[in-house]
Structure 1
Amino acid sequence: MTTHYVDLTVVPDSETGAPQLLGALHDRLHVALVQHQLEGIGISFPGYSIQPRTLGAILRLHGTEASLSRLLGTDWLKALRDHVRVTTIAAAPAQSRHRTVRRKQFKTSAERLRRRRMRRKSETAEQAAKAIPSSVERTPDLPYLHIRSRSTGQPFCLFIALGPLSTDPVPGDFNSYGLSGTATVPWF
């Protein structure tokens, strides 16, 4: 159950903006969650907005007081200390509503899907174009983190979607990105 939270605020400078710092911060968090096998820590973004599309400058970590203390007791923020302000661990407001914070994936490029199909099925460009029309493309309107895959090294956009608000918390585990389609975090 996510009873406590801590806010990590990125502090941009003339060379690095808030979105880049937030991506780097989340990338470090992802590595720390994997290394320390912390499945009870979820994330949220208090500055989340669709119009304008932004996650804001705060990454909020949710969990038990013990799990957050365990994470903060490690050296995972070492390289970002000059660009991140960390609050103390606090109890989430008792009357908070709850929601899921999850990843949303999109089929964003018909051309990329066609190239993939050609490799996998040994098809020609014409065959792949027939199988995958341009109409499959979607233009995402959700805020995202720009991060790099640990397994392939490729950069990608991690789109963040919010579930509906609820009065009741739903316990559960979070993935190595701190996201879940079922477990909720307090939303305040």
Structure 2
Amino acid sequence: MTTHYLELNVQPDPETSAAQLLGALYGRLHIALVQQQRSDIGISFPHYSLNPRGVGNVLRLHSSESTLRSLMQEDWLKGMRDHVRMTDIKPVPEHAQHCTFRRKQFKTNAERMRRRRMKRKGETAGQATEAIPATIERKPNLPYVHLRSHSTAQPFCLFIERSTLQEKQEGGEFNRYGLSPDATVPWF
């Protein structure tokens, strides 16, 4: 259960935007969660907004007090400390509502999907085009964090969907990005 939280607020400078810093911070958190094999830390973005679309410059971590202390004892913020202001670990406000933050993937590039299909199935370009029409593409309308894959070094957008608010907390596990389709985090 998520009883405590702490906030990491990125501080942009003239050379680096808040979005770039948040992406770097979130990437480091992901690596820390993978290395520590954690599935008990959830995240939220207190400034999450659909209009204008964005996640803001604050990353909030949710878990038990002891779990957050354990995470923060590791030096996963190395190199980011000048760009991040961190709060103390605090208890979640008593009457907070709850919601989920989950990853949402979109089929955004028909040409890339065709190339992949041709490679996987040995099809010609014509066969792949017939199987994957251009109408399959969707324009994402969700906020995202721009990350870089640590396995392929390719940049990608991690689209994040927030659920509607609910009164009751739902338990469960979080993935290595601190996201879950089922487990809720406090929203305040």
Partner SS for 1:9: strand
1:2-13 aligned within 5 A? 2-13=2-13
Structure 1 residue 87, shift from structure 2 partner: 0.1
Q: C-alpha deviations, 1:137-165, integer Å up to 9, x for none? A: 00001111111112222111100001121
Partner SS for 1:152: coil
1:17, 1:153 → 2: CA distance? 21
Partner SS for 2:80: helix
Partner SS for 2:62: strand
Q: C-alpha deviations, 1:18-41, integer Å up to 9, x for none? A: 110000000000011111122110
Q: Quick check: 1:105 aligned with 2:88?
A: no
2:173, 2:163 → 1: CA distance? 16
1:49-64 aligned within 5 A? 49-64=49-64
Q: Quick check: 1:80 aligned with 2:86?
A: no
2:16 corresponds in structure 1 to 16
Question: Partner letter of residue 172 of structure 2?
Answer: G
Structure 1 residue 15, shift from structure 2 partner: 0.6
Question: Partner letter of residue 29 of structure 1?
Answer: L
1:65 corresponds in structure 2 to 65
Partner SS for 1:128: helix
Question: Partner letter of residue 183 of structure 1?
Answer: A
Question: Partner letter of residue 153 of structure 1?
Answer: A
Moved segments of 4+, more than 3 Å: none
1:27, 1:106 → 2: CA distance? 20
Structure 1 residue 46, shift from structure 2 partner: 0.4
2:178 corresponds in structure 1 to 178
Identity fraction in percent:
61
2:16, 2:150 → 1: CA distance? 22
Aligned residues: 188
Q: Quick check: 1:123 aligned with 2:108?
A: no
2:39, 2:159 → 1: CA distance? 20
TM-score normalized by structure 1? 0.98
List gaps (5 residues or longer) in structure 2: none
2:50, 2:163 → 1: CA distance? 14
* Aligned Cα root-mean-square deviation (Å): 0.7
TM-score normalized by structure 2? 0.98
1:38·1:67 contact (CA, 8 Å) conserved in 2?
no
1:174·1:180 contact (CA, 8 Å) conserved in 2?
yes
1:47, 1:18 → 2: CA distance? 13
